[in-house]
């Protein structure tokens, strides 16, 4: 336990010395018109402030909180915007973000940065393989990749990727596979609100001599874990893109659904 | 024929992409960490020359427009306006402007006000030379019951905000609060008040590799808004300072362990040197340096590793800045206006290696990634800054060769009618090399319309 009296001695000296160092003249406080602390009901504030902290329960071997001892918050709701599927049909994105646990990322097929799209795809592939080994989970999970280069990543291209990624691995029947949908958009104009809603940054690299745009899209890798109701519950970047953590989080959502 | 050729190209591209996605690339986690050492490791790094420094500035009664404002200073030596103020965005009114933090994509800068509890979000990507206020969050108290938004620390898609106080009694009991990048409230995580916890909060620093975060502790609204002279003569008020630090599990955002850290530990920093596994903080009232490290059993332990100046003279250590390689630590002491460089080659036995008086008072310190440029500002809190002639308010940039600080440029914030210079953040973005997709689309649209 922390003993507040520990401070009595040093603070006694602080009082004397700071008194000597500081003027006692008061200065103007911040504008009272901008103060927000007093404008809400005491009852509501009391109920909010009296909540106590829960303590972490850690699996020391894996350095992760034990399943069932933590929650994933609702970060934001996925938007109801239009995308183009691999057959070239316009579809609502919600068809790909509800009804199952979804791992969604943005990518572009020309991406050559090993720490970029290929890294996210490799992690997704590892998750896919792992889930496909679990008979009770494989029909509850899907993967979605959305291109931010609609000019080059046309439906035909998406269809080819979908076919190859969907059927990668050795399985006895079609139902053994975790589906992986590759989506694009009909134009940059259609893509931008999607990026905005997900908070996915994208810069186009310019040629330093001509100033013309290149085929390189600079972006942070983000992988979104979405629950069956369409809420983003966790976001992974290169700093926390660990397959075991993601699998644990999917199990956390499943545990939450069952309870 | 044309179609066949196009299809064959697409097929080849599909195969290449699919191979690299499926089997060719190992799934590993990047070890690139962000710096200018207070930034979140989830935020992209500025390794080269910073182009701008943003200074979150407190309005002063009788000075200029008297309002809190974001001041942009050109820091690129090749620029014609090097060392000059090139933009200001006033937020209208004074709310005790304090600290700032970038979002995880470094496109937006969140800046807090400790008295008004407002959080201002500036777009610093569309035109980094001219930040634009795009959102003001005003529901912090309504959603959480806590006040005094202090640290803004990015995590993927969200911002972790440390509170300093609460709206119940304006004391030090507080919480960590999470908002998403759209400015929507997500969750509250109270500071522990059991197992040794005293409920106080101040700063947060996350180590993603270890999945832990360290929080420190200061004081509540009753104290930080009180005139310093009055405060130090109020014995009861002087007992109301945080005496603990807390190690948390980052994933669950739940506390793991409380440490006894007397005297209000302020800024917390992790060493990002590859292989390092320690964090550091300093205490304002007891002038000590604490290092946090795992023992052989993996248990986090706190070590008191040094004393700053002469504690009996109360130098009041304030901001710190850790070198990107973890080998040196700048510590400012407010009362004597001095910057102190500590050699941290051995973090368990650091030594003060250099001191320089920067001015009558000094608070914040930020260094470039290579450590060659060190920036200082002055304001601590509007009611704690020195009075009269000693109330110097400046931004000073020094070049550091490892032996001596040499003044590069300085801006007098009083003479420029700006206010009290507080927190600094760097930005570096050359719009000739890359443009946001959105800006490019708008540009193309404008051209098409013309």
For residue B440, which residues of chain A lie inside 8 Å, CB to CB? 204, 213
Phi and psi at residue B113, to the nearest 5°: -125, 120
Question: A245 in the Ramachandran plot: left (φ > 0), alpha (ψ -120 to 50) or beta?
Answer: alpha
Interface check for B35 against chain A (CB to CB < 8 A): the answer is no
Chain A nearest CA to B171, separation (Å): 11
Q: Does B105 touch chain A (CB under 8 A)?
A: yes
- pLDDT, one tens digit per residue, over B119-146 is 999 999 989 999 999 999 999 999 999 9
Residue B22 has a pLDDT of: 45
pLDDT at B33 over 60: no
Which residues, other chains included, contact B308 with Cβ-Cβ below 8 Å and sequence gap of 6+?
B282, B287, B288, B289, B315, B317, B331, B333, B340, B352
What would the mean pLDDT of B232-261 be, rounded to a whole number? Answer: 96
pLDDT in tens, A194-219: 999 999 999 888 888 888 888 888 88
The Cα of B84 is separated from the nearest Cα of chain A by a number of Å equal to 27
pLDDT value for A215: 86
- What is the rounded distance in angstroms from the CA atom of residue A245 to the CA atom of residue B254? 17
Give the pairing of strands A101-107 and A141-147. Answer: parallel
pLDDT of residue B435: 81
Q: Which of B441 and B397 is assigned the larger pLDDT?
A: B397
pLDDT at B19 over 80: no
Structure tokens, A258: 């069952």
Q: Do B314 and A13 touch (CB under 8 A)?
A: yes
Q: Is B351 on the interface with A (CB under 8 A)?
A: no
Nearest to B442 by CA among A219, A229, A189, A209: A189
Reply yes or no on whether the pLDDT at A142 is more than 90.
Answer: yes
pTM to 2 decimals?
Answer: 0.90
pLDDT-based confidence at residue B441 (cuts at 50, 70, 90): confident
- A52 contacts in B (CB within 8 Å)? 190, 192-194
Banded pLDDT at B434 (limits 50, 70, 90): confident
* pLDDT at position A165: 82
The pLDDT tens digits of the residues spanning A48-72 come to 887 888 999 999 888 899 999 999 9
Nearest Cα to Cα of residue A249 among A57, A90, A73:
A73
B449 and A CB contact within 8 Å: no
pLDDT at position A38 over 70? no
Which of A58, A203, A223 is most worth mutating to test chain B (most B CB atoms within 10 A of its CB)? Answer: A203
Residue A141: CB partners within 8 Å, gap ≥ 6?
A100, A101, A102, A103, A127, A131, A178, A250
Helix (H, G, I), strand (E, B), or coil: what is residue B20?
Answer: helix
pLDDT averaged over every residue in chain A: 84
Q: What is the tens place of the pLDDT at every residue in B215-242?
A: 999 999 999 999 999 998 999 999 999 9
Mean pLDDT, to the nearest integer, of A5-29? 41
Q: What confidence category does residue B36 fall into, taking pLDDT thresholds of 50, 70 and 90?
A: low
Phi first, then psi, for residue A100 (nearest 5°) are: -145, 170
Which ranges of A133-187 does DSSP label H, i.e. alpha helix?
155-166
pLDDT in tens, A183-196: 999 999 999 999 99
Tokens for A38, please give them. Answer: 């007093």
Instruction: Please tell me the distance from the alpha carbon of residue B314 to that of residue B335, in angstroms, as a whole number.
Output: 8
Is A168–B433 a contact, with Cβ atoms under 8 angstroms apart?
no
Q: What does the alpha-carbon distance between residue B151 and residue B159 come to, in Å, rounded to a whole number?
A: 9
pLDDT category, B175, cuts 50, 70, 90? very high
β-bridge partners, A212: none
Considering only A26-30, A108-112, B35-39, B271-275, which range has the smallest mean pLDDT? A26-30
| Residue B402 Cα, gap to closest chain A Cα (Å) | 31
Contact between chains at B225 and A126 (C-beta distance less than 8 A): no
Chain B residue at shortest CA distance from A14:
B314
Strands (E), chain A: 58-59, 64-65, 76-77, 82-84, 90-92, 101-107, 141-147, 180-183, 203-206, 213-218, 223-226, 231-236
Looking at residue A4, what is its pLDDT?
31
Give the model's confidence band at B31: pLDDT under 50 very low, under 70 low, under 90 confident, else very high: very low
Contacting residues of B for A15, CB less than 8 Å apart = 232-233, 235, 238
The pLDDT of residue A115 is: 79
Q: Do B190 and A53 touch (CB under 8 A)?
A: yes
Q: What is the mean pLDDT of chain B?
A: 91
- More confidently predicted of A110 and B191: B191
Q: B327: which residues sit within 8 A by CB, 6+ positions away? A: B273, B343, B344, B345
Distance CA B207, CA B214 (A): 8
Checking if the pLDDT of B200 tops 80, the result is: yes
Query: What stretches of B20-156 show up as alpha helix (H) in DSSP?
Result: 140-144
Q: Which backbone phi and psi does A125 adopt, to 5 degrees?
A: -65, -40
């Amino acid at each position: 336990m922390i003993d507040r009296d520990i401070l009595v001695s040093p603070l006694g000296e602080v009082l004397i010395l700071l008194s000597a160092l500081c003027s006692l003249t008061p200065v103007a406080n911040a504008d009272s018109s901008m103060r927000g602390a007093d404008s809400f009901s005491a009852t509501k504030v009391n109920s909010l402030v009296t909540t106590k902290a829960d303590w972490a329960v850690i699996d020391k071997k894996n350095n992760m909180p034990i399943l069932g001892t933590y929650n994933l918050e609702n970060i934001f709701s996925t938007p109801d915007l239009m995308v183009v599927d691999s057959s070239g049909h316009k579809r609502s994105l919600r068809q790909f973000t509800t009804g199952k646990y979804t791992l969604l990322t943005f990518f572009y097929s020309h991406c050559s940065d090993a720490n970029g799209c290929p890294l996210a795809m490799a992690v997704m592939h590892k998750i896919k393989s792992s889930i496909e080994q679990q008979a009770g989970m494989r029909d509850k999970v899907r993967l979605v990749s959305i291109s931010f280069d609609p000019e080059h990543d046309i439906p035909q291209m998406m269809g080819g990727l979908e076919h190859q990624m969907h059927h990668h691995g050795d399985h006895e029947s079609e139902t053994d596979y975790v589906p992986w949908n590759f989506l694009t958009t009909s134009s940059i104009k259609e893509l931008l609100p999607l990026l905005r809603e997900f908070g996915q940054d994208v810069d186009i690299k310019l040629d330093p001599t001509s100033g013309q745009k290149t085929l390189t899209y600079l972006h942070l890798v983000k992988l979104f874990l979405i629950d069956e109701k369409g809420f983003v519950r966790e976001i992974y970047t290169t700093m926390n893109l660990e397959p075991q953590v993601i699998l644990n989080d999917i199990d956390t959502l499943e545990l939450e659904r069952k309870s | 024929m044309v179609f066949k050729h196009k299809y064959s190209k697409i097929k080849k591209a599909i195969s290449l992409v699919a191979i690299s996605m499926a089997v060719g690339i190992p799934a590993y986690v990047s070890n690139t960490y962000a710096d200018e050492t207070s930034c979140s490791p989830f935020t992209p790094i500025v390794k080269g020359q910073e182009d701008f420094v943003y200074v979150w500035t407190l309005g002063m009664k009788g000075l200029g427009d008297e309002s809190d404002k974001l001041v942009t200073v050109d820091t690129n030596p090749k620029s014609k306006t090097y060392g000059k103020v090139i933009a200001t965005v006033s937020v209208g009114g004074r709310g005790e402007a304090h600290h700032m933090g970038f979002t995880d994509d470094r496109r937006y800068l969140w800046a807090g006000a400790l008295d008004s509890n407002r959080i201002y979000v500036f777009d610093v990507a569309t035109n980094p030379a001219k930040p634009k206020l795009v959102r003001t969050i005003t529901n912090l108290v309504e959603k959480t019951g806590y006040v005094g938004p202090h640290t803004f620390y990015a995590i993927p898609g969200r911002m972790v905000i440390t509170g300093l106080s609460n709206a119940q009694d304006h004391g030090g009991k507080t919480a960590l609060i999470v908002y998403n990048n759209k400015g929507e409230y997500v969750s509250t995580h109270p500071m522990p008040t059991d197992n040794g916890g005293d409920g106080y909060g101040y700063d947060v620093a996350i180590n993603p590799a270890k999945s832990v975060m360290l929080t420190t502790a200061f004081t509540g609204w009753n104290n930080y808004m009180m005139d310093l002279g009055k405060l130090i003569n109020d014995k009861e008020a002087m007992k109301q300072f945080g005496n603990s630090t807390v190690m948390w599990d980052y994933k669950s955002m739940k506390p793991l362990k409380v440490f006894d850290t007397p005297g209000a530990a302020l800024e917390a920093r992790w060493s990002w040197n590859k292989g390092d596994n320690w964090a550091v903080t300093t205490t304002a009232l007891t002038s000590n340096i604490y290092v946090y490290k795992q023992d052989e059993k993996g248990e986090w332990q706190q070590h008191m590793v040094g004393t700053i100046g002469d504690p009996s003279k109360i130098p009041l250590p304030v901001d710190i800045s850790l070198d990107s390689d973890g080998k040196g630590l700048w510590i400012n002491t407010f009362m004597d206006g001095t910057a102190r460089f500590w050699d941290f080659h051995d973090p368990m036995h650091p030594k003060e290696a250099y001191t320089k008086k920067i001015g009558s008072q000094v608070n914040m310190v930020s260094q470039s990634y290579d450590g060659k440029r060190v920036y200082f500002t002055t304001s601590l809190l509007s009611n704690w800054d020195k009075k009269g002639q000693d109330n110097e308010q400046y931004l000073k940039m020094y070049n550091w060769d490892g032996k001596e600080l040499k003044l590069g440029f300085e801006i007098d914030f009083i003479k420029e009618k700006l206010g009290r210079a507080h927190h600094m953040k760097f930005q570096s973005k050359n719009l000739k090399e890359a443009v946001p997709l959105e800006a490019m689309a708008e540009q193309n649209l404008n051209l098409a319309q013309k």
